[in-house]
Amino acid sequence: MKQVVIHPERCVGCMQCMVACATAHSKTKSLPGALGESPLPKPRIHLGTGLYREGFPNRCRHCDPAPCMMVCLPGAIYREEVGNTVLINGEKCINCATCAMACPFGVIRYHEDSLGPPGKAIAVKCDNCIDRRARGQVPACVEVCKCGALTFEEPSSSFKRKTDEMARRVSAGAEERAEVASPGFVLMNVLKRAQVELSGREA
């Protein structure tokens, strides 16, 4: 089954995935419309910052077994089996933050949600764009990503690509060809690191 795969080495930290995610989970589904909504739609994908200000798109892994689902007090977190997506029932959620203690990736947020019950703060996280998927679209963060840091594919094919890349790099003769998987991104991240190190303090 196709899933969103993250390739952090290609992330430039532009945060377009966050904007697209917030828009996709708004009432109006358009950026100008979403900006006028109350509550303001919020993203379910979060851009983390690495040691040298590299970007890292962080979203729910829909773990199996899911630690958040196991500890949820009112049983509001459940798995939608078809798309293998961990979902939160906003009506049942009591906003107790027990799932905040369970999620090892820190991807759950607590606020009123545009698509949730009005006037009630609830736990909100990635839903794999279940509505868009039903309409035959790919998840919004993938659609908008310009750098290939987020792809929607079979995890096995993504693993195979990574393995092949690694194999080529360590094979005989690799040094002469000096092959780097994504030279532009490597250059950018090296520059970011140099900037931080030259400034004499950590990011």
Q: Candidates 32, 65, 118, 173: give the one binding other proteins (CB under 8 A).
A: 65
Structure tokens at 76: 């509001």
Q: Which stretch binds other proteins (CB under 8 A): 19-27, 28-36, 64-72, 145-153?
A: 64-72
Q: CB-based burial of residue 24 (10 Å sphere; 0-12 exposed, 13-18 middle, 19+ buried)?
A: buried
Instruction: Tell me whether residue 98 or residue 158 sits nearer to other proteins (CB atom).
Output: 98
DSSP 46: E
Interaction with other proteins in 81-100: which residues (CB under 8 A)? 92, 94-100
Task: Give the nearer residue to other proteins in terms of CB position, either 54 or 127.
Answer: 54
CB-neighbour burial class of residue 38 (10 A; exposed 0-12, middle 13-18, buried 19+): exposed
- What distance lies between CA 116 and its chain's CA centroid? 20
Q: Return the SS3 of 38.
A: coil
Scan residues 5-44 and list those touching other proteins (CB under 8 A): 8-9
Which segment (36-44, 106-114, 135-143, 146-154) binds other proteins by CB under 8 A? 106-114
Choosing from 28, 42, 52, 153, the residue that interacts with other proteins (CB under 8 A) is: 52
